[in-house]
Amino acid sequence: MSIALSRQLREGTKKAHTMAENSGFVSCFLKGVVDKSTYRTLVADLYFVYSAMEDEIERLSDEGHPVVEKIRYPELNRRKTLEQDLCFYFGANWREEVRATSAAIAYVDRIHRVAIDLPELLVGHHYTRYIGDLSGGQILKSIAQKAMNLDEHEGLRFYEFESIPDEKLFKKKYSETLDSLPIDQSLADLIVQEANEAFKCNMDMFQELEGNLIAAIGKLLFGFLTLRKRKGSTEDASI
């Protein structure tokens, strides 16, 4: 009997999805308020998260896990694109430069723990991140490109799914895969619950980044006001 996991995930994460979109960092991002320093920290965090997820999915798939192997879609993998972006933002020695934030470390730890305790729950993490990136990638890419004055590709490879020419068709195939997984309803409930935990992990990362963004905006504003004050003083002296 079909569990209709795709629908359950979509319906069961609506509240968490809305909360993530309304977080301070994401709200600023969607409005085009993007600080390059904060953004590159996000890219670094995502690199560690995706590396953990892709390592575990590859390992479990190679071991023949009956559920995890079915969501192994190499065309979704983001590690290589994130490495390209990190090279752009940090330089050739980016591996020595990047550090995960505390929220990203907790996120990575959860992925590894789930992969050991109940690997089927990785489906919730996989769905939350990859399908979210695929669905909103082009919009977010356009916003980041304009906000940071970047060219079409450099620093934005993360949003490019070159091996997926038809997003709509792929998402249909992905939904069919979810609905055909060899699981029962009790496990489906746990996967939806874990997907909401994945959203929480992401929101924790956003909250850390929000502090960096506010500090960066405050610094820019202070510099702008100082410049105006100096300019005003000069104008006053010339009258």
184 phi and psi angles, rounded to 5 deg: -105, 180
| The model's pTM | 0.87
CA distances from 14 to 42, 90, 155 (A): 23, 35, 30
Among 176, 191, 123, smallest CA distance to 4 is for: 176
Q: What is the pLDDT of residue 216?
A: 46
In the chain, what are the domain boundaries? 5-213
Hey, what CATH topology would domain 5-213 get?
Heme Oxygenase; Chain A (1.20.910)
pLDDT of residue 71: 98
Q: State residue 26's pLDDT score.
A: 85
Q: Which of 50, 48, 39 is nearest to 133 (CA)?
A: 50
What digits encode the pLDDT tens for the residues 169-218?
Answer: 999 999 999 999 999 999 999 999 999 999 999 999 999 888 765 544 44
Supply 120's token pair. Answer: 């089927």
**Per-block mean pLDDT, blocks of 10 residues, the chain (239 long):** 89 94 86 88 97 98 98 98 98 97 97 98 98 88 92 93 95 98 97 98 92 50 43 48
Residue 222, SS3 per DSSP = helix
DSSP state string for 113-171 = HHHHH-GGGHHHHHIIIIIHHHHHHHHHHHHHHHHTT--SSTT-GGG--TT-S-HHHHH
Cα(225)–Cα(141) distance, rounded to whole angstroms? Answer: 31
Amino acid at 23: S
User: How confident is the model at residue 230, as a pLDDT?
Assistant: 54
